Structure 1
Amino acid sequence: MKKKLFGLLLVFSTFYASAQQIIPYSYNQYQRLNRSLYSLDTRFHTSLKPVIGDDTTITRELDSLLTIGTDQTRNSWVTRKLFNEHLVEINHEDYSVYIDFLPDFQIGKDFSHAITTWNNTRGYQIGGTIGKKFSFYSSGFENQARFNAYLTNYVNTKNIIPGMVNDKYVLVAPRRTTKDWAYATAVLNYTANKYFTFTLGHDKNFIGDGYRSILLSDVSAAYPYFKITTTLGNVKYMVMWAQFQDPLSPQLSFDNGFRKKWGAFHYLDWNVNNRLSLGFFDSVIWQDADEKGKRGFDASYLNPAIFLRTIEGMNNSPDNALLGLTAKYKLFSNGTVYGQLALDEFTAKEVFTGKGYWANKSAYQLGLKGFDAFKVPNLNYLVEFNAARPFTYSSRSSLLNYGNYSEALAHPIGANFREFLTIWNYQLGRWGFYGQGNYAQYGLDQNGVNFGKDINESYDTRNQQYGYHTTGGLKTNFYYLDGRVSYLLNPKYNLRFELGGIIRTEKNSLGTDRTGQITFGLRSTFRNIYQDF
């Protein structure tokens, strides 16, 4: 009895000491909280990620994942550090600090193209709390890798490592098979009281309850931002200002680096009751400076309580505004239906004509997610449909589009697509099982004609006003299967052995590209690295 009581006190003290600990967002990590977050007995704001500071109940639940499979009877320093603890861990009454080495070593084979793939990543993470109000987190990675054929082609085409930064050798050796890059994130959070949380970061953000987001996702590279989150009863309101980079536009000078652009975002999430939540979103993107170096940050977007679309119109509409709605409804005890709607531009009289007006730019999402599928504990599931009309998220130039570092701020496919996907996860002690299947159909540009899939292309390059329908252009079918089996060594930083395999097919009238790959490695961290595009 005394041992059990001591164990409960130890767990509680761990939760309390790290109540403000920042847990970076990863779909695979957060979905394991489905039972708590989407229970009929709870009322959480689940669509704002990562969860930081003010949602102490959720952060405690996330902290509990960091103790899966740990054995407090291990006494030696080596076994404790390998299986139970952070590499360095200091817990004091007034502060806490942890430090970890983050390896990501993989070896694999792209059988379809006879390529031996590998990844050599050495990283770190440092996190902790200062008092009861401050928390911080930082991670950094030095990477070298040889990718499979389709990822290598992606990097060579976009000059960007998916979701991260440019290859160090892109200018001197753009076709080098070995890619080399460095990547870092940092977040500083201050929880002033139960109403206000302030976050300064260089990282990613995500809005939504699904795997994808058509409003704001974690697809593109990390970016600097300042975020204020306010909680009043059943309403949570977020306002954020961020700066993005555009490597595609000509630099003003070498000393200025990549061209910059700004973004302002507002999101209100209202938990109507234990079952229903509604959200309202608006954003605006504007370029930092023109060729003469004018404008920069626009102070008219500073007011956190104003409708951004109105200000954008008052500025004579030079910028790119986006409006959105989100909703979720707990349909049954272990299943929640959710959805999103994004309106980029909208001309009501053109919608119902059926003529395919180019400026009717919109996207939507509908999904179902839950836990304990077929009454199997810890079997989480998700079924999701996403679609975006041609030219959605695009603008007059890449300096104004809804993108960052050559990639989308929303869906990785861009626009002019329909996608169906399903994801299943199962956790059995330290063993983890993951299965994912995607089917998408999209329209590629053909014969030099812009059909609206690539958000980095100017919509001014279109060759007509009407006749644009979703998947128009070179109609392409995309299939993707991903399976993984992992054994968790240390839950504190997700250190695991992982065996994985993917089958990818992209097929249209011009040909078929297939990839079959298997990988094995020692992996860690909680970051999302998307390859399903």
Structure 2
Amino acid sequence: MKSFFLTAAVLLIVVSGFAQGTLPSISMYNYRDIRALYLDSVNRHTSLGNILREDTLTERSERKWLYRKLFLEHLVEIRQDDFNVFADLIGDFNVGRSNAGNGKTVWTNTRGAHVQGNIGRKFYFESSFYENQAKMPAYIDSFWLKHRVIPGQGEPKGGDGKYYDYAYVNALMQYSPSRHLDLTLGYGTNFIGDGYRSMILSDINFSYPYLKVTANLGNVQYTSMWAQFMDLKSLTFGQAYEDIGYLKKWGVFHYLDWNVNKRLSIGLFDAVIWPDADSAGRKRGFDWSYINPVIFLRPAEHSVGSSDNAMMGMTAKYKLWPKVTAYGQVVLDEFRIKEMFNGEGWWGNKWATQLGLKAFDLFKVDGLDLQGEFNAARPYTYSFRNTQGNYAHYNQSLAHPLGANFNEFIGIASYGHKRWFARAQVNYSNYGLDRNNDVSYGQDIFKSYELRLSEYGNTIGQGLKTDLIYATGSLAYVLNPKYNLRLEASLTHRQETNSLFINKELIFQFGLRTTFRQFYYDF
């Protein structure tokens, strides 16, 4: 499969050499760009990230070079008739205080670089690299002790209680031979849905390699994606493969998004996750049975005699009013019609759902937005017999950070005016934790569902009933919108409560930040 990705990369580069014409460079999207798509009178395809936008030429200023680079422009800007290149040094320098235990200082020191550009009208590329040292809040330390990774940022070199040292990269090449077709080769994350969370495919993960083909045909957008994931929980399979690192697994995803009319959009989704090695330890690799780009793979998965982990899902979006949009998702991991409606709580009724609402310019105040969202997942959803087939990558779920067996309510309010941006968020979740390592109550998707407590009587929240309150507020001033350089202060309260423990933490942070992606610490 390595040769498959390498060949695809070469083809993208070769065909891009024949592209003609000019196009303003495209840069990473930000909140205001996404917001504009929902306010457009045309029903846009908003449920499939990433959204790329044109980087228009900044009006020439008589200011000195240093002022322009700090507040108006990219560090390097090369604009030509047939290509554009933009490069920036990026960083995240913040310091704060947590009241956990006897109190601790928390800080992040991130240095990196980001480059993006286009060649002709049809080829776009971007890449970023981050080197990090950080001392995290106590609950992130607990997450690392359990999963051995920093949320969304991979495995650190050290976690001895002093600080973490870790690095990660993102990269993307996109070739558009016509307005109807986009070919993307990337190393990063993907997101499907209109919500803050996605119960289908989320961007909470560490980067992974993928090949994505997207076709745009009128009101229909259709995407096929093949990806390779890492399984850190399993050991390598045999001495001959010890040098290849962690076990791999594969995934294929299909998503069809149909704008039915100016208000309604409906999406259909399916996915299959399969192991890189079979149960006997023989290397399986990429299964070419799944190269089929047509949606609904369950028949293909069954025809090869496999028991790979297949899922199906549906999304919907409806514009209630010009500035109010409702959205939702349903995911079916495994189910039987008979068991679904008999009310006996069969363990295999594995499903997840989402329902949300976005309102823009609330009370006729420009830039004041509100979002409310409910998410839920039945016990054992996204899990499998082993971690080689569960719906996860690099010790994190490919969907929701809480795994399964939970209910969650989220409220987000934000306000932007010129270069000021304020945001407040409150999460309330209830879920059931495992009481010991020998039995799974269905929240930990890295445990085999064969460790389930019972066949019937399974309900959301079973196990050690736990409540989580997460509230955070931030205020930022954007110094340079070209690469999202901003001064930001935040205050976060987290409280996790059950009959065995109460974990409380209050965290204040202030810093100078430049980020091109969002990290999800709200769990």
Q: Does residue 286 in structure 1 map to residue 271 in structure 2? A: no
Say whether 1:23 aligns with 2:8. no
Per the alignment, residue 56 of structure 1 pairs with none
1:137 aligns to 2:126 (yes or no) = yes
1:481 is matched with 471
User: Mean Cα displacement is larger for which, 410-419 or 444-453?
Assistant: 444-453
Partner of 2:75: 87
1:76 matched to 2:61? The reply is no
Identity %: 49
Stretch of structure 1 that moved more, 36-45 or 414-423: 36-45
Q: Is the 8 A contact 2:95 2:107 kept in 1?
A: yes
Mapped pair 1:213 → 2:218 = no
Q: What secondary structure is seen at the aligned counterpart in 1 of 2:338?
A: helix
Provide the residue aligned with 2:428 in structure 1.
439
Aligned residue number for residue 6 of structure 2: none
Shift of 1:220: 1.1
Q: How does 1:241-390 map to 2 (within 5 A)?
A: 241-252=226-237, 253-290=241-278, 292-390=281-379
Q: Give the superposition deviation at 1:36.
A: 2.7
**Structure 2 Cα separation of the partners of residues 71 and 21 of structure 1:** 17
Residue 353 of structure 1 deviates from its aligned partner by 1.8
Give deviations 1:353-377, integer Å, cap 9, x for gaps: 2111100000000000121011110
Residue of structure 1 equivalent to 2:491: 501
Cα 1:156–1:18 change in 2 (3 A) is farther
**Is the contact made by 2:431 and 2:461 (CA closer than 8 Å) also made in structure 1?**
yes
Letter in 2 for 1:457: K
- Describe the shift of the 1:132–1:301 C-alpha distance in structure 2 as closer, same or farther (beyond 3 A): same
RMSD: 1.6
Is the contact between residue 255 and residue 295 of structure 2 (CA under 8 Å) also seen in structure 1? no
Amino acid paired to 1:437: V
Deviation at 1:187, TM superposition (A): 0.1
Q: TM-score, normalised by structure 1?
A: 0.91
- Match of residue 46 from structure 2: 46
Q: Which is worse superposed, 249-258 or 418-427?
A: 249-258
Paired with 1:184 and 1:38, the residues of 2 have a C-alpha distance of 30
**Hey, what does 1:453 align to over in structure 2?**
443
State the shift of 1:153 in Å. 1.2
Structure 1 position 237 matched with structure 2 position 222:
yes
* SS across alignment from 2:272: strand
Distance 1:118 1:39 in 2: 38
- Whether contact under 8 Å (1:22, 1:135) holds in the other structure is no
Structure 1: 5+ residue stretches without partners = 1-15, 53-58
Distance 1:267 1:235, change over 3 A: same
For the 8 Å contact 2:374–2:408, the answer to whether it is kept is yes
Is 1:524 aligned to 2:514, yes or no?
yes
CA distance in 1, matches of 2:478, 2:290: 46
Aligned residues between the structures: 497
Of 154, 163, 167 in structure 2, the residue corresponding to residue 182 of structure 1 is 167
Indicate the larger mover: 472-481 or 37-46.
37-46
Which one-letter code corresponds to 1:168 in the other structure?
A: K
* Contact 1:35 1:334 (8 Å CA) reproduced: no
Counterpart for residue 418 of structure 2: 429
Is 1:71–1:84's contact at 8 Å kept on the other side of the alignment?
Answer: no
Deviation per residue, 1:442-466 (Å, 9 max, x gap): 0000134210001111101113211
Higher relative contact order (CA 8 A, sep 6+): 1
Aligned partner letter, 1:21: I
Offset at 1:213? 0.2
Question: Partner of 1:8 in structure 2?
Answer: none
1:394 equivalent in structure 2: 383
Shift of 1:381: 1.6
Structure 1 pair 353–232 and aligned structure 2 pair: CA distance change class (3 A) = same
The answer as to 2:459 corresponding to 1:469 is yes
| Offset, 1:72 | 4.6
Q: Equivalent of 1:97, from 82, 85, 93?
A: 85
In the TM superposition, what whole-angstrom CA distance separates every residue of 1:148-179 from its partner, at most 9, and x where no partner exists? 1001111122100101110113xxxx533310
Do the aligned residues in 2 keep the contact of 1:339 with 1:364 (CA within 8 Å)? yes
Gaps spanning 5+ residues in structure 2: where? 1-20
CA contact (8 A) 1:40 1:330 kept: no
Deviations 1:399-434 (A, max 9, x none): 100000010000110000000001111111111101
- Asked if structure 1 preserves the Cα contact closer than 8 Å seen for 2:90 and 2:114, the reply is yes
Q: Aligned partners of 1:180, 1:74: CA distance in 2, in Å?
A: 42
Cα displacement (A) at 1:208 = 0.3
One-letter identity of the residue aligned with 1:302: I
TM-superposed deviation, 1:20? 5.6
Q: Using the TM superposition, give the Cα deviation of residue 317 of structure 1 relative to its aligned residue in structure 2, in angstroms.
A: 3.7
User: C-alpha displacement at 1:200, in angstroms?
Assistant: 0.2
Q: Which amino acid aligns with 1:138?
A: S
Is 2:148 the partner of 1:159?
yes
Distance 1:354 1:19 in 2: 57
TM-score, with normalisation over the residues of structure 2? 0.92
Q: What letter corresponds to residue 251 of structure 2 in structure 1? A: G
Alpha-carbon deviations, 1:3-29, whole Å to 9, x = none? Answer: xxxxxxxxxxxxx966561426xxxx2
